[in-house]
Copies of this chain bind each other. A is one copy, B any other.
Amino acid sequence: MIPRYSRPEMVAIWEPRTKFRIWFEIEAHAGDAMADLGTIPRENAQAVWAARDVEFDIDRIDAIEAETRHDVIAFLTHLSEIVGADNARFVHQGMTSSDVLDTTFNIQLVRAADILVADMEALLAALRRRAFEHKDTIRIGRSHGIHAEPTTMGLTFARFYAEMDRNLRRLKTARAEVATGALSGAVGTFANIDPRVEEYVCDKLGLMPEPISTQVIPRDRHAAFFAALGVVASSIENIATEIRHMQRTEVLEAEEFFAKGQKGSSAMPHKRNPVLSENLTGLARLVRMAVVPALENVTLWHERDISHSSVERNIGPDATVTLDFALARLTGLIEKLVIYPDRMQDNLHRFRGLVMSQRVLLALTQAGVSREDAYRLVQRNAMKVWEQGADFKTELLADPEVTDALSRDEIEEKFDLGYHTKHVDTIFDRVFGPA
């Protein structure tokens, strides 16, 4: 997590004060549940809520932890200082630190997922808007980086929309994966705590009770969570790479928005670098690098060990903060991306009709020309275009063998771009729903 690539709302989720606030809520709700069950006195349970509006003194907690070497005990001690030892002695009864820590980590991940879902929705809105804006903006489609057949810029945005819409679903699934809590005691047997306490607390905190836990919540959930983030990150890289290609000097079909006054822009007008897209490429790698350790974290010894803990202290904040920043950056980039339809036309016509050679070939054979002859006819005209800079359609129209087989109209029709865009509406209906 680098400040440079962070946004405050997501960072706040991972701050100590947030963590302690969640700890408090878990303990206080658990107290209520125990009071309901008659395990502890109602008045003591209620008294703990006095800390609801108190700002915890993090320095004080740290000082206690430095002494006790135990973070949860440090917090409980501080809580006791606030609500009084008499009330505090019923807090945390029958629970283990992991009950608090694991449930808290999941709450943080759920909140992070909520932000990521919102980020994704904003990105989808931007992609959708640009897709419709450029639904009919013709550009050349490329396979292997080589001109293939025409497509539209709107289709490019639409496919990114569809991909990110799948990622939205994956993020929601990921959120559900980790939306569980556990208050099941030392090895998960509920020996010292009633399962109804877990149910009550989870309900209050918007979680499902973990059906079976050990001392910890099982880590396959978190592996699935971070794997989903890795897929989202890869899609970000996919879009970023498209933009980097479009902004290449020789292509220049789009540019990242560049503020008017931004220094140096007008003295070197060709030198506008797609630095945001490149940055997104790197950020994608940062998010992805959480996937392997998250997978390695699934294996724990018996009812738990803490090998996963240091990993999660890192990848929990890092992967979510970085992905949040990346999604927001990508949204801004898409919203303001400068599109150059004229350049798209220039590039499309760069080889003066050659990209239509396939259609002409097909038309000739359908008109009864043998495959060998059709190929020879296309080839000899194509070569004039390639080697002498001629125009393909002009050459075809001037070739008697071609015009014997195809009428002028038929030839002209092969160069009609509408042929390639006739199903754009159908595709848009599929992606965005019927208009």
A302→B227 contact, CB < 8 A: no
Contact of A267 among B212, B282, B306, B375 (CB under 8 A): B375
Query: Whole-angstrom distance from the CB of A154 to the nearest CB of chain B?
Result: 11
Question: Nearest chain-B residue to A275 (Cβ)?
Answer: B306
B227→A431 contact, CB < 8 A: no
A189→B146 contact, CB < 8 A: no
Q: How far is the CA of A375 from the CA of B264 in the complex (A)?
A: 9
Binary per-residue interface labels of chain A (135-171) against chain B in the complex, 1 for a CB within 8 Å, 0 otherwise? 0000011111111111100010011001100110010
**A155 — which chain B residues lie within 8 A by C-beta?**
188-189, 212
Q: Is there a chain B Cβ closer than 8 Å to A314's Cβ? A: yes
Q: Which A289-305 residues have C-beta < 8 A from chain B?
A: 289-293, 295-305
**A306 — which chain B residues lie within 8 A by C-beta?**
144, 275, 278-279, 282
A215→B148 contact, CB < 8 A: yes
**A235 — which chain B residues lie within 8 A by C-beta?**
220, 298
Q: Is there a chain B Cβ closer than 8 Å to A339's Cβ? A: no
Q: How far is the CA of A147 from the CA of B215 in the complex (A)?
A: 13
A354→B142 contact, CB < 8 A: no
Q: How far is the CA of A309 from the CA of B190 in the complex (A)?
A: 40
- Interface stretch, picked from A29-37, A118-126, A395-403, A417-425, is A417-425
**A233 — which chain B residues lie within 8 A by C-beta?**
295
Query: Whole-angstrom distance from the CB of A316 to the nearest CB of chain B?
Result: 11
* A2, A233, A269, A274: most-surrounded residue (chain B CB, <10 A): A269
Q: Is there a chain B Cβ closer than 8 Å to A345's Cβ? A: no
**A308 — which chain B residues lie within 8 A by C-beta?**
282
Given the known inter-chain contacts A149-B189, A189-B149, please indicate yes or no for A144 contacting B274, CB distance below 8 A: yes
Question: Nearest chain-B residue to A73 (Cβ)?
Answer: B263
A231→B303 contact, CB < 8 A: no
A420→B224 contact, CB < 8 A: no
Q: How far is the CA of A303 from the CA of B420 in the complex (A)?
A: 14
**A299 — which chain B residues lie within 8 A by C-beta?**
234, 237-238, 241
Q: Is there a chain B Cβ closer than 8 Å to A186's Cβ? A: yes
Query: Whole-angstrom distance from the CB of A68 to the nearest CB of chain B?
Result: 7
Total copies of the chain: 4
Binary per-residue interface labels of chain A (64-81) against chain B in the complex, 1 for a CB within 8 Å, 0 otherwise? 000011000000000000
Q: Which A387-413 residues have C-beta < 8 A from chain B?
A: none
Query: Whole-angstrom distance from the CB of A323 to the nearest CB of chain B?
Result: 13
B273→A423 contact, CB < 8 A: no
Question: Nearest chain-B residue to A360 (Cβ)?
Answer: B267
Question: Nearest chain-B residue to A259 (Cβ)?
Answer: B69
Binary per-residue interface labels of chain A (215-231) against chain B in the complex, 1 for a CB within 8 Å, 0 otherwise? 10010110110011011
Contact of A247 among B145, B177, B224, B302 (CB under 8 A): B145
Q: Which A105-131 residues have C-beta < 8 A from chain B?
A: none
Given the known inter-chain contacts A159-B212, A311-B285, please indicate yes or no for A141 contacting B303, CB distance below 8 A: yes
Q: Is there a chain B Cβ closer than 8 Å to A271's Cβ? A: yes
Sample of 18 A–B contacts (CB below 8 Å): A141-B302, A142-B249, A145-B248, A146-B272, A149-B191, A150-B189, A159-B188, A159-B212, A189-B421, A220-B235, A220-B238, A223-B230, A231-B295, A241-B299, A268-B382, A269-B383, A279-B310, A282-B308
Chain A interface residues toward B at CB < 8 A: 2, 4-5, 68-69, 140-151, 155, 158-159, 162-163, 166-167, 170, 173, 177, 185-192, 195, 209, 211-215, 218, 220-221, 223-224, 227-228, 230-231, 233-235, 237-238, 241-242, 244-245, 247-251, 262-263, 266-275, 278-279, 281-283, 285-286, 288-293, 295-311, 313-315, 318, 347, 350-351, 354-355, 357-359, 361-362, 375, 378-379, 382-383, 385-386, 419-424, 426-427, 430-431
Beyond A141-B215, A289-B290, 19 additional pairs, beta carbon < 8 A: A5-B310, A142-B249, A143-B303, A146-B248, A148-B187, A150-B189, A162-B212, A190-B426, A192-B359, A209-B430, A220-B235, A227-B228, A250-B250, A267-B375, A282-B310, A285-B293, A286-B310, A288-B295, A289-B293
